[in-house]
Amino acid sequence: MQTRIIESTINRRIDDTRGSLDFANKMLQDAHQNILNLKHQQVTIYEKIATIFLLESPQNDNKQIQALVTQLQELFIKLNTRSQELEQLTLESLNKVSDTLSKIDTLTIEKVMLLEHDPNYVSLFNLLKNQEENIENETLAFNESQKEFSQKLAQYYRNSCYNYLIKRRFGQQDYCGFWIFRNLDAWAARYVNFTENYKNQRILESLIKESQNRYDNKKESYQLTLQQKEQKEQEVEDKLKLPVLRDQLAQKQRILAGYQEQKAQIYQNLNETQLGKGNQFYEIAHQLAEVMRQQSISSLEHLTRQTKSKEDDLLLQDLTGIERQIRKLEGMLPSLKQNCEAIEHTYNRFNQVFFIFKQNNIPSGFYEYNLSPSSLNQLLDKLLNKAVFPETIAHAIIANRMKINRNRSSSGSSGWSVGWGNSATTPSSSYRRSPSGGFSSRSSSSSKGSGFSSTSSSGGGGFKTTDSF
């Protein structure tokens, strides 16, 4: 048997063992994951049972559980008390806002009466009213004129010949050029009626500027009158201390909004707690679930019988079934773990055999082995017995090694021939256990035809061969 066949056989056994190891590890991991999932279901069921128990809050003899029930009742009392306090604070704040608004309304009426008896303010008020009407009309006229003038000017800006003469400064004092260009410019000016159109363009630009100035002046006059009117009003308001009251009103309205927001939050918390929701209820329910997890099944049955709901009875049955599944899986874990360790040990032993074989088979191209596939598999199967060392198997394989003879045969044909000779050969071998735990072997053979003899010995963890011609 050639070296590569032996190596391939060992590698195949390594791969098969690796596949078995992966499968065993997967079974172990699946068992752990199933236990984890079942425990998560347990936690969920305990929390559901705790929620049902807290919502009904029956009397019981367990001090820990009763303490949590009392804690929930105190939470209800606290939320109701705070809700009533906020209701009272909101009502008081609302009354303060209403009183301030009433004062502001009274002073506002007084302010109007004072301004109506002020001739200067009445004059400014009437003037402002007239200016408002004028500015509205002026704005409409200004927008229409701007639109009309812009459309007309656009015609001048689109005429390329006319704009060429503008750029050439035609008709201006600084206009210059050769006589031929001046003649061409004059011909182009007559063609587009430059003199008349240039005059019209300047008039349109002046009208736009004049319209803008007139609109700005009227707007500025309106703003000045408005400012004077507002200043008169501000003087009266300062005299009546209306700004101070408005600031107080804004502050009281902010306080009122804060109370209303807190009251809405308390109502929401109270409703959620009564329905078995909310962070505070979840915290108490979680604590109760932890206490229930420490109770026996019989104690839990006693607790669930105290509630009117039948849902917790069904949940308790599910809990019992899950507990049985967990115990069953946990009982399988030692055997699954032991199986993984055994397969991993066998896998490492196959790798050791391969490593020792490779180490003692250099150069491999000069040797072959007097082993059949069934004999090799029988040797490898012995690795399943933990009492047999990998070194023993590797040396047992190497003990069957033979050096390949490269001499030609007498018939003239060429090829490889085994060095056992062409005539009768008498091999003999003996094995004994070495002190290091392996086998030691001694083999000898003699051939009359080829004059070849070999002796080999192995012992301990190494292998040595001596060949002579």
Most confident of 77-91, 169-183, 338-352, 434-448: 77-91
Question: What is the model's pLDDT at position 244?
Answer: 93
**For the segment 191-206, what is each residue's pLDDT rounded down to a tens digit?**
777 777 778 878 888 8
Question: What is the model's pLDDT at position 439?
Answer: 36
Residues whose CB is less than 8 angstroms from the CB of residue 185 and which lie 6 or more positions away in sequence, other chains included:
165, 168, 170, 177
Range 294-326 burial, b when 16+ CB lie within 10 A, else e: ebeeeebeebbeebeeeebeebbeebeebeeeb
Question: What is the model's pLDDT at position 424?
Answer: 32
Neighbouring-strand partners of residue 458:
441, 463
State how far the Cα of 125 lies from the Cα of 129, in Å rounded to an integer. 6
Q: In the chain, how long is the greatest CA-to-CA distance?
A: 153
Residue that wins the pLDDT comparison between 33 and 358: 33
pLDDT tier for residue 385 given thresholds of 50, 70 and 90 = low
Q: Would you state the structure tokens that stand for residue 217, as one six-digit string? A: 């002046």
pLDDT tier for residue 466 given thresholds of 50, 70 and 90 = very low
Q: What are the residue boundaries of the structural domains of the chain, listed by start?
A: 79-86+93-254, 348-468
Read off the pLDDT of each residue in 23-49 and give the average, rounded to a whole number.
91
Residue that wins the pLDDT comparison between 17 and 431: 17
Read off the pLDDT of each residue in 38-67 and give the average, rounded to a whole number.
86
State how far the Cα of 52 lies from the Cα of 65, in Å rounded to an integer. 13
**For the segment 118-152, what is each residue's pLDDT rounded down to a tens digit?**
888 888 888 888 888 888 878 888 888 888 888 88
Task: State the average pLDDT for the chain.
Answer: 77
Question: What is the model's pLDDT at position 24?
Answer: 92
Residue that wins the pLDDT comparison between 165 and 49: 49
pLDDT tier for residue 107 given thresholds of 50, 70 and 90 = very high
pTM of the model: 0.50
Residue carrying structure tokens 């994951």:
33
Amino acid in position 46: Y
